[in-house]
Structure 1
Amino acid sequence: MAVSYTGTVTVTGEGRNGGQVASSDGLLTTALAVPAEFGGAGGATNPEQLFAAGWGACFLGAVRRAAATRKVRLTSTRVTVEATLTHGEDDAFGLSAVLNLELGGVEQHTAEELGAAAHQLCPYSKATRGNIPVTVKAVAV
């Protein structure tokens, strides 16, 4: 398999609890913090937000590709990704996700079809398939 791109990020310090994130090209540099809702200090981003951002950006690219393949013209695209840290009875942590897709310029059935197609194309969706609960909700706006 040919490599298209490798994103490299280094995390230092205490990871999600006060660590720092830096990309190899210097374009991403940010602090990490445990969310206040989870008993932390908050005030900085966290792994779930970063994961949701990456997945959302990739997913919209997949939506655009699916639309182009079908010759569907979209007037707007928006996805809100909810990446949820879960905690089981066995004290193990996991993830679940909801992708809330809003597409302009199409009817509801087309929005749903494009959401499903994007979920098959997107590398983040492929990587999580069968590993975590994922729901794709597509709405025509």
Structure 2
Amino acid sequence: MADDRIDTVMLTEFPVLRLDTPTREAVGIFTESGWSAIPVVDAAGSLIGIMSQKDCFRSALNASYYQQWSGTVAEHYTADVKSLDAEMDVVSAAEAFMALPYRAFPVLRHGQLVGMINRQDLLRVFLRFG
């Protein structure tokens, strides 16, 4: 199992957000995709942050009060993003999920965003064993 790498179980198709994405649009992407966190990328596709469903609630509550959505991803995302390396083994990835409160991690190879891995997909790997 320690030889299994996360690049064999990560998802390579996932939504991304940009800083200028309107918050209402981002909420729609969350609800349609089912992801709990979505990477924020620059124009070149490089990872610059992450936005979680939780990050959307302030804007959603304001919209419920004022009947109007405002703001962009730039106002709500987290720039200090934690990521995993594509060559990391699944045991180390599981330890990262245990140590941190995140439900999903961006996966990088040589600094480039190549995938996403979430708790559920990683747990599926462990079901094969034991």
Using structure 1 for the length normalisation, give the TM-score: 0.24
Hey, which of these two has a bigger chunk of strand by percent?
Answer: 1
Structure with greater Cα Rg: 1
**More relative contact order in 1 or in 2 (CA 8 Å, sep 6+)?**
2
Please state which structure has a larger fraction of its residues in helix: 2
